[in-house]
Amino acid sequence: MAQRRRNRNSTFEDLVEIAALLPWWLALLLAFVAYVVIHRYAVMDVPTVAVLGQMGDMVSKQLIKTLATFGQYIVPVAFALGTLTSFIGRRRRAKLHDGVADQPTVNALNGMSWREFEMLVGEAFRRRGYAVSETGEGADGGVDLVLTRGGETYLVQCKQWKAFKVGVNIVRELYGVMAARGAAGGFVVTSGVFTQDAIQFATGRNIDLINGAQLHAMIRSARQPQPASANIPAASVPPEPALVAKSANSSPDCPKCGKPMVPRKAKQGQNAGQSFWGCSTFPACRGIRSA
């Protein structure tokens, strides 16, 4: 995905962006507090006649008063706009997610822009309990989303590639960023598929590859009640089922859907580090067995 960093041109835009990342009620509260605090400086008395030895103090107060006169309106407006931006963005992501969930086939992922695809992926992870932060339109070493949950960080790279497969170089790139930032894991998500080299490289490296079919199943399953279990490593998504080479005798069948199961290891919770069997179609099916 090409570099898509947007240039920030002003402090006002930075304030809007910060407010957009906050809960709407907190952003509105900050807008009110900012007005009250800055307004005090905007109406403060400043001597109009200079007193010998106090010229510098008078000039400083006048400068503060002038800045506060404008800032008492600019800062609250920036926070209010950030609140509105956040609200509209969340409504748009929810509508996009639910629209794809209502479609019966993976073709629902086709036709959207890279930005919509990134928003869709972020909303899918958000509904799985992650806090999602967008990095600034494809910046930050090719990482599009940063996920946090349980004190751990996961990096996500989105590739809306329908015409060709996502290769191993993309996975290597994410792995390098993960190592540099000390991330607990990573995801590469595409609307298409991955090469076998990419899947083999990701195996055992705490990188989960989610192809278009798996993403669609993940989105549709978000509307179904999910069983709560500390044994399920929520950050784990298996390789493409077609490439999981297991014989009938080497793994049990899933107790929920009857599909072959694959060995996994819990990454968090009270059972972290323990092995278990997980359904090969996860996240479409969350069946598990004790190892």
Residue 132 in contact with residue 122, Cβ under 8 Å? Answer: yes
**pLDDT number for residue 244:** 34
**pLDDT number for residue 51:** 67
Question: 194: closest CA among 240, 158, 241, 238?
Answer: 240
| Distance (Å, whole) CA 234 – CA 271 | 13
pLDDT tens digits for range 214-260? 999 889 887 654 444 434 344 444 433 333 333 333 467 766 766 77
pLDDT bracket for residue 262 (50, 70, 90): confident
Task: Indicate if the pLDDT at residue 157 is higher than 80.
Answer: yes
pLDDT tens digits for range 8-37? 457 888 888 888 777 778 888 999 999 999
Please report how many Cα atoms fall inside a 13 Å half-sphere around the Cα of residue 107, on the Cβ side.
2
Determine the average pLDDT of the residues in 174-179. 92
**pLDDT number for residue 286:** 73
**In terms of C-beta density within 10 A (0-12 exposed, 13-18 middle, 19 or more buried), how is residue 11 classed?**
exposed
Domain ranges of the chain: 11-100, 113-224, 242-291
Highest mean pLDDT among 98-102, 150-154, 264-268: 150-154
pLDDT tens digits for range 61-82? 889 999 999 999 999 999 988 8
Mean of all residue pLDDT scores within the chain? 79
**pLDDT number for residue 270:** 64
Residue 264 in contact with residue 233, Cβ under 8 Å? Answer: yes
Question: What is the dotted CATH code of the domain comprising 113-224?
Answer: 3.40.1350.10
**pLDDT number for residue 268:** 67
For residue 211, give both structure tokens. 């192809």
pTM recorded for the entire structure: 0.59
Q: Which residues are registered as beta bridge partners of 131?
A: 148
Report the relative pairing of strands 152-159 and 185-190 from DSSP bridges.
parallel
pLDDT tens digits for range 37-48? 999 999 998 877
The residue among 50 and 63 whose pLDDT is bigger is 63
